[in-house]
Structure 1
């Protein structure tokens, strides 16, 4: 079976949903001696996941923090350096953590710069600064593969009324990682859109979205069983990583061939 090798896996938003599924699937695909850095705000759920990975013989460290805080990338990188060993041949960073923002409101209601800055700090700035910190901590060198994944969305490409913060954040992140792929040709960069997932975020989407037609569409997807499990979407992402045939920087959706 193809594997991800002996890897250091850094996963943000790892406590639940898609991030948790990624951690568990990567744990199945890495080789002994691999290490995980699990990042989220929810400490109890994160530590439960840490225990599950430890039972598989993997070293896992929890970093419980709010990614919008200025020192959060530094703390994550410091932990990653602590668990890294010369035997590790693959560094994988999964920028998964994200928030919807207030999807009940429309563009013209966002007059507070502090509110918008707070959203962008958590959803955009932290991803850039963490990625930069990881690349500096683990620079290009012979025998070390490096991969950065941005968990993207259809919202990076298509405008959704009343979702101005989320769409803007996802679009900014996609372009940020496309630029990174241009700058670092040895780096593997993937913008992966996991599709409509059956998560807490989708529950908020179908109950709080301000644009009524969109809200009904989200409800319909739930009622008609059209949502994907995190595990099914994660399996598609892992297939992309293992085959390693995508163009670095590409945006690939779950539904793409």
Structure 2
């Protein structure tokens, strides 16, 4: 079995996911990363930059694609040390009275069920390596935002899923981490598309003000936290927990 850390990251074509891949390699050039995303040109760019980056093009909801990703890692290295489940969407942004089953189902397929599926097929390899499951959660999992009922519910479910893994699988550690408000395409969509049509003026104003005042985080900030957790393991006292990216308990990972 290779001594290199073998890490799976979802949603790596841009934003936090891409920054996570770059952060992992900046911290450990011997690490091996397997990524999945829909945009092949972005994946090819990462492969050109990092020889130890390997990828599958496709939707995280496509079971055959995620199974292929896990098989690539286990066939080549016999293990998976960590998974960072980052891929996600915000849509639908709408009032509860405008509930649309297909929209909610699609959202949960991406933001929740795809993660459950990935975890279920990866657990044997993760248990073998006493590995880590790192879920990109959100402050919306513990606080309501006008028009975000679907997103809030899916992220809250993810927090609960991390708790359940910790309770059922003693050889694997799990954590749900809110990355803060990050300057990504999702924030652009909130300001320009979803906010104006599905959020209250006050709710939208919070995000437009953050951008106007240069208070959005760069993706590299939470990405560094996710990379440290994947490379150096989730601290036992945080197993199954939900925390923010800037929680004091995350400050010294990899430096103890």
**Which TM class, normalised by the smaller chain length?**
0.7 to 0.9
Deviation, 1:53, is: 1.1
Take 2:158 and 2:123, find their aligned partners in 1: how far apart are those partners? 17
Task: Give the gaps of 5 or more residues in structure 1.
Answer: none
Is 1:161 aligned to 2:140, yes or no? no
Residue 9 in structure 1 maps to residue 7 in structure 2: yes
Correspondence for 1:42: 39
Structure whose residues are more often helix by fraction: 2
The within-5 A match list for 1:46-85 is 46-54=43-51, 58=52, 60-85=53-78
CA distance in 2 between partners of 1:240 and 1:122 (Å): 23
- Partner SS for 2:131: strand
Paired with 2:126 and 2:54, the residues of 1 have a C-alpha distance of: 22
Q: How many residues align?
A: 240
Deviation at 1:71, TM superposition (A): 2.8
CA spacing shift, 1:223–1:139, aligned 2, 3 Å? closer
Residues 67 and 121, structure 2, Cα contact 8 Å, conserved in 1: yes
Kept in 1, the 8 Å contact 2:56–2:65? The answer is: no
Q: Structure 1 pair 135/162, CA: closer, same or farther in 2 (3 Å)?
A: same
Residue 123 of structure 1, aligned match among 111, 121, 124: 111
Q: Equivalent residue for 2:251?
A: none
* Contact kept? 1:21, 1:234, Cα under 8 Å: yes
TM-score, normalised with respect to structure 1: 0.86
- Please give the residue correspondences for 1:164-179 in structure 2 after superposition, counting only pairs within 5 Å: 164-179=149-164
Please give the alpha-carbon distance, in whole angstroms, between the structure 2 residues aligned to 1:99 and 1:189.
21
User: RMSD over aligned Cα, in angstroms?
Assistant: 1.9
Deviates more, 1:222-231 or 1:21-30: 21-30
**What TM-score comes out, normalization by structure 2 length?**
0.87
Structure 2 CA distance, aligned partners of 1:78 and 1:255? Answer: 34
Q: Which ranges of structure 2 fall in alignment gaps of 5 or more residues?
A: 249-256
